[in-house]
Chains A and B, each alone.
Chain A
Amino acid sequence: MRVVVIGAGVIGLSTALCIHERYHSVLQSLDVKVYAERFTPLTNTDVAAGLWQPYLSEPSNPQEAHWNQQTFNYLLSHIGSPNAADMGLAPVSGYNLFHEAVPDPYWKDVVLGFRKLTPRELDMFPDYSYGWFNTSLILEGRKYLQWLTERLTERGVKFLLRKVESFEEVARGGADVIINCTGVWAGALQPDPLLQPGRGQIIKVDAPWMKHFIITHDPERGIYKSPYIIPGIQAVTLGGIFQLGNWSETNNIQDHNTIWEGCCRLEPTMKDAKIVSECTGFRPVRPQVRLEREQLHVGSSNTEVIHNYGHGGYGLTIHWGCALEVAKIFGEILEERNLLRMPPSHL
């Protein structure tokens, strides 16, 4: 069984690992390769701040809520392991701020210690009048990708720097199953009018006194368009940019100013923070994640493609649930082809 995963961001690498973990011992032979044009630190995952937090409103596909929860619980189970920090994983608490009262989010019982902010806490944020406090998790993109790469390498998974022009090309190369984790660039392999870039720009600063995340919300402006401050393991990410349809990969000075002014207003202590780096990334925005199977007819054989892209600004938040779902679909493919020596233990 030859599997090719296209894409080496969090979705590609975690899906590769999930499949290998579950099926390596139940298949006669399982060969997994990862093809990608960009590897860490050049992927969109590397730009993400890495805070586990879904969007506030319920997803149009209720499965996504389940996948988010599965991911949180999976990550939480690694807290308490000595290696958590190697994965880029750490608990972090913080504030979500609003201009007016809002209903509790659907994930309030997934995170830990969810509660409303007290008046004295709100005093710290004069522009806001309502908010939440909860404990969540940081999963730093770069560290996690490095960790995933190590785990995959240990398992003999090979990585190839390759620009894939078509699924057919990969199928003709001998792949039985292709996992399409090409994120925001999926349209190049198969047009998808529902997929758009949600351009984000972030500034990474040295502000080691910041131990909490602060995320502001402005329903009129939309998600990620309001300032946010998210501490990572070493640096703190400042953001607040979301531009649908903008493919510009260079940092923009106006966006820099928007982020800087917004975050300094939110948190006056940022004024003296030293800037470490600034980057741009593209959230793969889609009304819902595309996670489904498709059969390709290449020559006389059927190649299966499992699509797993379009995770918007919540890729890290949802990745493991999606990886498990892809693994389930992969299992169905194996059963159809009578390839399983014994039932897989993890489904």
Chain B
Amino acid sequence: MDRLPGDQQSCSSTDEMRPMDTVRIAAVGAGVVGLSTAVCISKLVPRCSITVISDQFTPETTSDVAAGMLIPPVYPDTPIHKQKQWFKETFDHLFAIANSAEAEDAGVLLVSGWQIFRSIPTEEVPFWADVVLGFRKMTEDELKKFPQHVFGQAFTTLKCEGPAYLPWLEKRLKGSGGLILTRRVEDLWELHPSFDIVVNCSGLGSRQLAGDPKIFPVRGQVLKVQAPWVKHFIRDGSGLTYIYPGISNVTLGGTRQKGDWNLSPDAEISKGILSRCCALEPSLHGACDIREKVGLRPTRPGVRLEKELLAQGSRRLPVVHHYGHGSGGIAMHWGTALEAARLVSECAQALRTPAPKSKL
């Protein structure tokens, strides 16, 4: 498959479009990234039709396993100001929902709690401190609850739950005329010529669909339990142990196993998770209805958010890649979706602008 360099800005196609034609857009992937991108596109791009195509839908996606806490990861390859922008846009978007009558339907809620460290972190105040609410250092009295930890941060943030949020996004999409298609896409060229632009939100699927060796799974096993008396999140600064209370269960975690593709829960790991979480919150000994879940975080040194013009012979297919959010899918989704929608809009503009045939 011939490919033009990744930073090729032009999305011109040999198939000419008239300015008033409907641009047909396919979004591959129906996790939080695929669905939110489709919604953003439907709001931004005039006269377009969007179809979300995936073999997996909620509640079977990675986004459904994630606890959905808005505590962002760090992407080594992305400038901090960009990460902060994406996080802030996502936070603001979800904050508005949390304070509206839609909150329960959308699965969005406000949660307060503590991130605690066994040794003083190099960065006591992270880049996102002023995006979340009420960020401050924990007091000595508060730290007494965690005798193994010497430092902590207290703040209020949001939780956005896949099993409710994804259907809510689907409803929004269908409401603006978007379509949903169940199909496993093995090759992006399958979408040509039915679609004019493809947005690739396939997460780990991009290893195959985009031939990207940089994306790999970081396996996360979690327990979803009943413990309704737990009203605060508790997160160990290492990110390995966390307790995230949600609407109808509490997520206990977790693991970060690089390169592990195994989707079956491991009983020994579950025991370890429960034990570590009970050490932080002893009342969890009374937790019941324990369910094991596994998700593979689609991890990359940075989110791939860029245009690519696929070329094969005389065929052209403009693609916007939008994948690789790792552990920050929910925390960053709306900010990156807005950016992906802008890129798609640029592609649509280019298609509609009569241009000289590109010389290749």
Contact = CB atoms under 8 A, between A and B. Distances in A.
Contact of A269 (B101, B227, B245, B283): B101
A211 B282 contact: no
Interface in A198-256: 207-212, 231, 233-234
- A contact face: mostly helix, strand, loop, or mixed: mixed
Contacts of B247: 208-209
B231 A231 contact: yes
B7 interface: no
A201 to B, nearest CB: 24
A230 to B, nearest CB: 11
B133 interface: yes
A214 to B, nearest CB: 11
B103 interface: yes
Contact of B142 (A113, A118, A121, A271): A113
Given A112-B139, A112-B141, A211 B245 contact: yes
B110 A212 contact: yes
A80 interface: yes
A82 B227 CA distance: 12
- A84, A85, A133 interface centre (most CB from chain B within 10 Å): A85
A172 interface: no
A203 B98 CA distance: 22
Interface in B107-155: 109-112, 133-134, 136, 138-139, 141-142, 145, 154
Contact of A268 (B100, B109, B111, B232): B100
Interface string B179-199: 000000000000000000000
A46 B145 CA distance: 29
A208 B134 contact: no
Given A91-B232, A272-B104, A82 B285 contact: yes
Given A115-B134, A212-B110, A81 B228 contact: no
A286 to B, nearest CB: 32
Nearest to A140: B229
Contacts of B305: none
A90 B101 contact: no
A86 B286 contact: yes
A118 B134 contact: yes
B293 to A, nearest CB: 19
Contacts of A121: 133-134, 156
B229 A233 contact: yes
Contacts of B136: 113, 115
Given A90-B229, A90-B231, A233-B228, A212 B112 contact: yes
Interface in A57-114: 79-86, 90-93, 112-113
Contacts of B156: 93, 121, 133
A121 B133 CA distance: 7
Contacts of A346: none
B257 to A, nearest CB: 29
B232 A85 contact: no
A258 interface: no
Contacts of A271: 101
A118 B278 CA distance: 33
Contacts of A272: 101, 104-105
A135 interface: yes
Nearest to A123: B99
Contacts of B10: none
Contact of B154 (A82, A84, A113): A113
Contacts of B248: 208
Nearest to A208: B247
Interface string A135-153: 1001000000000000000
A73 to B, nearest CB: 10
Given A211-B110, A269-B103, A269-B104, A93 B228 contact: no
A118 B156 CA distance: 11
A120 interface: yes
B230 interface: yes
A124 interface: yes
B229 A80 contact: no
Nearest to A80: B282
A83 B278 CA distance: 12
Contacts of A120: 133
Nearest to B105: A272
Contacts of B111: 211
A211 B283 contact: no
A74 B248 CA distance: 30
A82 B228 contact: no
Interface string A254-276: 00000000000000110110000
Interface of B: 98-101, 103-105, 109-112, 133-134, 136, 138-139, 141-142, 145, 154, 156, 227-232, 245, 247-248, 278, 282-283, 285-286
22 contacts: A82-B283, A82-B285, A82-B286, A83-B283, A84-B282, A93-B231, A113-B154, A115-B136, A117-B134, A118-B133, A121-B156, A135-B112, A138-B229, A208-B248, A209-B103, A209-B247, A268-B103, A269-B100, A269-B101, A269-B103, A272-B101, A272-B105
Nearest 6 CB-CB pairings of A with B:
A209-B109, A82-B285, A90-B229, A269-B103, A85-B229, A211-B231
